[in-house]
Structure 1
Amino acid sequence: MDFLSDTVVLSRMQFALTAIFHMLWPVLSTGMAIYLVVVEGLWLKTRNRDYYLHARFWAKLYVLNFGIGVASGLPMEFQFGTNWAPFSEAVGDFFGSILGFEGAMAFMLEAGFLGIMLFGWDRVPPLMHWLATIMVAFGANLSTFWILTANSWLQTPAGGEFIGGKFIVSDYFQAILNPFMLNSFLHMFFATLETSLFVIGGISAWYILNRRHPGFFGRSLKVVLAVAFVVAPLQIFVGHLSAEQVYHYQPSKLAAMEAQWDTIPAGSSPAWSLVALPNDQEERNEWEVKVPGMLSYLLELKPTLSEPVQGLNEWEPQDRPHMVGLIYYSFRIMSGIGIFLAGLMGFSLWRWLRGKLTAEAIVEQKLMLWGWLLAAPMGYIAVECGWIVRCVGRQPWTVYGELRTADMATPLPPPEVLTSLLGFAGMYSLLFVGALYFGSRIIRKGPNLELPLPQSVSKAPLAVEPMQHQPDQRPIETQQ
């Protein structure tokens, strides 16, 4: 229990808690906003009432996530001033301005148009409402851009130099366009979108399995599947590019990701560690299962390495990541989930092409539907694991190779940090329970299929006749 008297450890635990909890909510809101743009656009194009009803129903879950994301995100940023004041003083001229851009540009844009998206259906023309939805989605994903820009700069600092322990910016655009920025943003963009798609698909599968409006939710599952056909493979490709960058820019992190203790020379065809039991104290793996000759293909798509893969023993213990097992398995869980989601997408697409996703046949696709239901939380797990690899693997540096985490914490008394840590844990637990309660209420109640169209279009003829929904086929007692 020595960590209870260590301010740095407690401050890191508090930031980890707030970051892991906060990440649950914008992951869904940023991706679901794009889905809302798609279904509302389909409604405007086809005048099919189903798409309008989908936009209204899924917007309820969006706003629930948005609210909790705001409540959990602000305290996380405040910690840069409370628990990490030396860090803020050292890099605030750049890092602080980037976080300011996120609040002033992205969050305000999203929040400013959110009211129109939620309450403007009968107050603004349909195209203006769609524009508001687009602005909400753009603001949400612009927030992702600025957050990933700031974090990427911590991974590969650029655009200036440290003078007297303080970062002096010489080229602002070079700092923004640091080597990690583009792939990091794309990887997170596709992660949020893919997570949202499989959450929407999983909830749709739950309704279909329970024979609640299978035709209606079969339509949402098809929209999700059409977008996932593009997103799931792209996410795997961009993930590979991100791993390549770690190979070139952060060799100590790569060594931890692969639990590689000894250096592998260039020109070799090393095996890839599938599973292992890393031992930090003895600086070796207790046991491991390897795939011969695979590592060079994963890193360079070639049979032999053109560059060496440095092992953890190349660095002194104080200069390399610890908790190797956590980094090693977080990376594999993230990668495995990405492959599983792509496989589920491929299987579902095959069933669609076989004509098995019609309103009448989809209820019989139980294996596929259970796959989507089980996949619903997997995107969250993959995102959290990815951030663990990204941030824990960066240690012992706050700014990679420049500022040590141990030197960047505010020298607060440990009991004060422990009190705030426990306070955050209690508050976030209440928020989590509240989110599950209200989210489950929205889902149990289901969509209002009798909701009238906006007055501006309710008298216009429909370009496509609305689908005749099958009645709710649950037993009478479960409908009440």
Structure 2
Amino acid sequence: MEMFDALHLARLQFAFTVAVHIIFPAISIGLASFLAVLEWRWLANGNKVYQDMFFFWSRIFAIGFGMGVVSGVVMAYEFGTNWSGFSRYAGNITGPLLTYEVLTAFFLEAGFLGVMLFGWKRVSPRAHFFATVMVAVGTLISTFWILSSNSFMQTPQGYEIRDGRLIAADWWQVIFNPSFPYRLMHMTIAAFIVAAFIVAACGAWHLLKGRRDEPVKRSFSMGLWILLLLTPIQILVGDAHGLNTREHQPAKIAAIEGLWETEKGGTALNLFGIPDMQAEETKYAIQVPHLGSLILTHSWDGEIRGLKEFPKEDRPNSLIVFWSFRIMAGLGMLMLLVAVLGVLLRRGGRLYESRAFQRFVLLMGPSGLVALLAGWVTTEVGRQPWTVYGLLRTADSASPIGSQQAGVSLLILVVAYVLVFGVGVYYMLKLMAQGPQPHVEHHDPAARPSLSNRDPFQSFH
């Protein structure tokens, strides 16, 4: 395949649009649940700090949610323009799954989003909290259906092939395919970690600038608590996901590990190296004996199939997934370090005083998104050369378009995305640089706060 043929350009276009899009749903999923927690805490104890934090982070959420919707629409069109072969072959299954996402999740989010953002003076506090919870639930339902559709492409089951097309024989098996539970948990927790690092990094920025007010300190603290809770769980889920992948996509595991030969009596782990697809070896490998078996089979002498056991045309690009996986895993270890250091500093009473730790958290702010993108690259490139694993090749999924058409549309999308989403990201960062503002009371401080006396979006008008 030439580097700039139509198929390669179409793949680059979809990879680019998905990479940009996935950032915003991840932020929205995490922040939606964070907002629900903040409003719950405000209703529970009447502490204005939580209300101030809700007002601030709801603005960040609104921008991310809007850009997620806009960037996601483009991919739906690409299924028809660039991947008509895939739509024709698998559309009877993936189409309904994406339709369920719109009917059950998007309508729920859209219906309650306006109440959450602009309903403070129009509904009761409890009704407003219900709207916030429904928005959070909607983001999770959306994750459910999107991951179900994508997981079916990774580990298809519950289907029949009629007249050269996939037909659902058992929707329960289609939806709850073998990799779905692991990938759903992994992605959902990843989104929460993305939001936690953004919240904690924002707090770290303002602590470094000398602010010590409660909204800043509590943002920093809550972000670190979330990381302490979720990072170890994510590591365990990732381990279970790896075992599942070894069972159902063994070529992907071999490519991730840069493993060419099936080793008897125990498999070494390649910590680092440069997989060479032509030479069929991992050059300059630094190995730890038996560690591959311990991680991927949970036994000392477990056997892992090497890439040479698979036909060359069925092998994923080991160089890409070898390093994308290590970027994700390496960042995961740094995330765990952040969480542990946060606990130690908290116990020593230095959480808000250690500038070195705050710089570390600020530096790690984008790490959740980087790890998410690295994980996506590992998953999707590792599935190649299949669009539907074992059933439909990527080369057979593309539309009969020319390289000029694919190249021009890719260029247009890159320019449009940089302009539109670049401005959106800049505005999000500008808002975060301002930070949450402490509430100033203008009435009897003994009176219980009311959700109806402030509009968090007044500054937009």
Task: Mark yes or no: TM-score above 0.5.
Answer: yes
Separation in 1, partners of 2:254, 2:86: 26
**Structure 1 counterpart of 2:389:** 400
Counterpart-to-counterpart distance in 1, 2:440 and 2:311: 65
| 2:267 corresponds to which of 261, 270, 277 | 270
Root-mean-square deviation (CA), in Å? 1.9
1:170-319 pair list within 5 angstroms: 170-265=169-264, 268-305=265-302, 308-319=303-314
Q: Which of 312, 316, 320 is the matching residue for 2:315? A: 320
Q: Note the 1:111-190 alignment, pairs <5 A.
A: 111-190=110-189
Greater CA deviation, 208-217 or 278-287? 208-217
Residue identity opposite 2:161 in structure 1: F
Displacement of 1:414 in angstroms is: 1.5
Aligned to 1:3: 3
Aligned residue for 2:390, secondary structure, equals coil
TM-score, length of structure 1 as denominator length: 0.90
| Conservation of the 8 A alpha-carbon contact between 1:208 and 1:214 | no
1-side partners of 2:381 and 2:284: how far apart? 23
Runs of 5+ unmatched residues, structure 2: 451-461
**Would the aligned equivalents of 2:153 and 2:388 in 1 still touch at CA under 8 Å?**
yes
1:268-305 superposed Cα distances (whole Å, 9 cap, x missing partner): 22221100011111111221111222111111222221
Alignment of 1:49-68 (within 5 A): 49-68=48-67
| 1:461 corresponds to | 448
Which 5+ residue runs of structure 1 have no aligned equivalent? 464-480
CA deviation after TM superposition for structure 1 residue 190, in Å: 0.2
Residue 53 of structure 1 contacts residue 448 of structure 1 at CA under 8 Å; is this kept in 2? yes
Note closer, same or farther for the CA distance 1:2–1:270 as it changes in structure 2 (3 Å cut).
closer
In structure 1, C-alpha distance between the alignment counterparts of 2:180 and 2:224, rounded to whole Å: 29
CA distance in structure 2 between the partners assigned to 1:333 and 1:441 by the alignment? 28
Partners of 2:305 and 2:39 in 1: how far apart? 50
Q: In the aligned structure 1, how far is the partner of 2:164 from the partner of 2:288?
A: 45
Pairwise CA distance, 1:458 = 9.0
- 2:38 aligns to what? 39
Deviation per CA, 1:377-418: give whole Å up to 9, x if none: 011111101111111000111110011110110001211111
Q: Is the 8 A contact 1:296 1:303 kept in 2?
A: yes
SS at match of 1:3: coil
Q: What SS class does the counterpart of residue 274 from structure 1 fall into?
A: strand
Q: Give the Cα separation in 2 of the matches to 1:459 and 1:259.
A: 65
Please report how far the alpha carbon of residue 451 of structure 1 lies from its aligned counterpart in structure 2 after TM superposition. 6.2
Match for 2:429: what amino acid?
S
8 Å contact kept, 1:207–1:214? no
Aligned residues: 450
1:60-99 to 2 correspondences below 5 Å:
60-99=59-98
CA-CA distance at 1:3 after TM superposition: 2.6
1:368: which partner in 2? 357
TM-score normalised by length of structure 2? 0.94
Distance in 2, matches of 1:164 and 1:141, equals 35
Percent of pairs with identical residues: 37
**Distance in 2 between residues matched to 1:175 and 1:210, nearest whole Å:** 52
